[in-house]
Homo-oligomer: A and B are copies of this chain.
């Protein structure tokens, strides 16, 4: 299956992946691939810039470490990040409900 566009929901996905525990970029990509049952296979050119964006926005915080010779940058949620994640969950609910409703051809009234 060709790469599905994550359009507009990348941030939510990344934040959510960091909620249970801090992770480094590469591990995030794997977590997303696994958690989406391979629907999303995010390229590095998508993930790393996005993480930098989230850090600049103060939603995540990073620190470098070295594990068996390989340098890692581990990200964790900030308080603002956690708050944002809550909001994102809420708006995803509204968004997905709206799209599902429209795609189902509902006569305007279903799933209120």
Q: Which residues of A contact B (CB under 8 A)?
A: 4-5, 7-9, 12-13, 16-17, 19-20, 31-32, 34-37, 39-40, 88-89, 91-92, 94-96, 98-103, 105-106, 108, 112
In whole angstroms, what is the CA distance A94 to B36 when docked?
A: 9
Consensus secondary structure, chain A interface: helix
In whole angstroms, what is the CA distance A86 to B103 when docked?
A: 10
Asked if A4 meets B91 with Cβ closer than 8 Å, knowing A98-B37, A98-B40, the reply is yes
Task: For the complex formed, measure the closest distance between the CB of A2 and the CB atoms of chain B, giving whole angstroms.
Answer: 10
The one of B17, B92, B103 in contact with A13, judged by C-beta atoms closer than 8 angstroms, is: B103
In whole angstroms, what is the CA distance A60 to B100 when docked?
A: 21
The one of B20, B92, B105 in contact with A16, judged by C-beta atoms closer than 8 angstroms, is: B105
In whole angstroms, what is the CA distance A19 to B21 when docked?
A: 45
Task: For the complex formed, measure the closest distance between the CB of A19 and the CB atoms of chain B, giving whole angstroms.
Answer: 6
In whole angstroms, what is the CA distance A100 to B8 when docked?
A: 14
